[in-house]
Amino acid sequence: MPPTAKASILHRVTGVAMFFALVFVIWAWAVSLSSPEGFATVKEVMTSFIAKFIAWGTLTVLSYHIIGGIRHLIMDMGHWEELESGNASAKAAIGLWLVVAVLAGVWLWF
C-alpha cells in the first residue's frame, strides 16, 4: 500500500477516533467545571494509567488529524499533487506524527 493511501486512511480513522474520544473529554470538562470537588475528582482520575492512556490516545489522534488535515489543505492549494511529492509529504506527515505521539507520551507520563 503506498504511503499516500496509508496517510489518507489514517486521517479518516483518526477522525472517527476523535469522535469517540469526545466522550472522555466532555465528561472531564463537565465534571471538572461543576464544582471544586468535581475538579478534584477529575484530577484524581487523571493520575491512573487508564486515564493517561486515554488522554495520550486522544492527543495522538488529534495530532495526526491536524497534521494530515494541514497536508490535505496544502494539496488542495495545488501543491504535493505529483506522485513523488505526494508520497514524500505522506511519509513526512506520518513521521512527524510519530514524533509528536512520543513527545505527548513523555509529557503525560513524566
Out of 3.40.50.2300, 1.20.120.530, 1.20.1300.10, 1.10.10.10, select the CATH number for domain 3-21+48-109.
1.20.1300.10
pTM of the entire predicted model: 0.90
pLDDT in tens, 67-95: 999 999 999 999 999 999 999 999 999 99
- Quote the pLDDT of residue 69: 97
- Quote the pLDDT of residue 90: 98
| Residue found under cell 497536508 | 71
- Quote the pLDDT of residue 78: 97
Burial class (CB in 10 A: 0-12, 13-18, 19+), 41: middle
pLDDT in tens, 9-44: 999 999 999 999 999 999 999 999 999 999 999 999
Domain residues of the chain, as ranges?
3-21+48-109
- Quote the pLDDT of residue 97: 98
Taking the CA atoms of 92, 68, 16 and 38 in sequence, report the sign of the dihedral they define: positive
Task: Judge contact between 57 and 22, C-beta under 8 A.
Answer: no
- Quote the pLDDT of residue 64: 98
